[in-house]
Amino acid sequence: MEKFTTLEGVAAPMPLVNIDTDMIIPKQFLKTIKRTGLGKNLFDEMRYDAQGQEIPDFVLNQPAYRDAKILIAGDNFGCGSSREHAPWALADFGIRCVISTSFADIFFNNCFKNGILPIVLPQSEVDKLMDDAARGANAVITVDLENQTISGPDGGTISFDVEPFRKHCLLNGLDDIGLTMQKAASIDAFEAQYKTAAPWI
């Protein structure tokens, strides 16, 4: 997994609440058997019309945000299906950080597995960042994971929380499976006692 240390970039504002995973990546793109290549279809039905032409009003189609690395989003971002294609599409587009007041549980988890940092902040701070983001390319935002800070274009900084284990994995680009494999002895022991305690399983 790609490491996440500091990220500097333009943030795209998406104030809509309840942006679901069907909006992030509609189901017709779930037929792939690969993890890559989904960026061009990120937000497909909001981004392109029925003829496949870009909808100019959509934020990621505007010149200032075509290379956005951060999303500032409304409440409950990523609700809906468990499709990891949603973070794959974001990452493939180049978005490595999403900031909102709340996230859906499975999406939140999936982000960390793919080098994307989801940050939860209080409404007032999300509002402030949303205003910053509205200034487009003039407003570069820096996210520093090590120090857990976000610096806005005007010099102010905001602190954020992240679980220590998840932070450690992101900073070092660690793969969960390898880490768990190191605990094979505990899994063996669990299975051994389980065979007697609950043989029907």
Contact residues for another protein (CB under 8 A)? 15-18, 20, 22-23, 26-28, 30-35, 45, 50, 74-76, 79-84, 87, 102-106, 109-110, 113-114, 163-165, 176-177, 180-181, 183-184, 186-187, 190-191, 194, 198-201
Instruction: Tell me how far, at minimum, the Cβ of 47 lies from another protein, in Å.
Output: 12
Instruction: Tell me how far, at minimum, the Cβ of 180 lies from another protein, in Å.
Output: 5
Instruction: Tell me how far, at minimum, the Cβ of 70 lies from another protein, in Å.
Output: 19
Q: Cα(83)–Cα(80) distance, rounded to whole angstroms?
A: 9
By C-beta, is 76 or 149 nearer to another protein?
76
Instruction: Tell me how far, at minimum, the Cβ of 128 lies from another protein, in Å.
Output: 15
Q: Cα(95)–Cα(39) distance, rounded to whole angstroms?
A: 9
Instruction: Tell me how far, at minimum, the Cβ of 63 lies from another protein, in Å.
Output: 24
By C-beta, is 57 or 154 nearer to another protein?
57
Q: What are the helix (H) ranges across the chain?
A: 21-24, 44-47, 85-93, 105-112, 123-134, 164-172, 176-181, 184-197
By C-beta, is 11 or 104 nearer to another protein?
104
Other Cβ atoms closer than 10 A to 25 = 26
Question: CB–CB of 179/38 below 8 Å?
Answer: no
Q: Cα(97)–Cα(114) distance, rounded to whole angstroms?
A: 11
By C-beta, is 138 or 194 nearer to another protein?
194
HSE-up of 98 (CA within 13 Å, CB side)?
A: 33
By C-beta, is 78 or 157 nearer to another protein?
78
3-state secondary structure of 35: coil
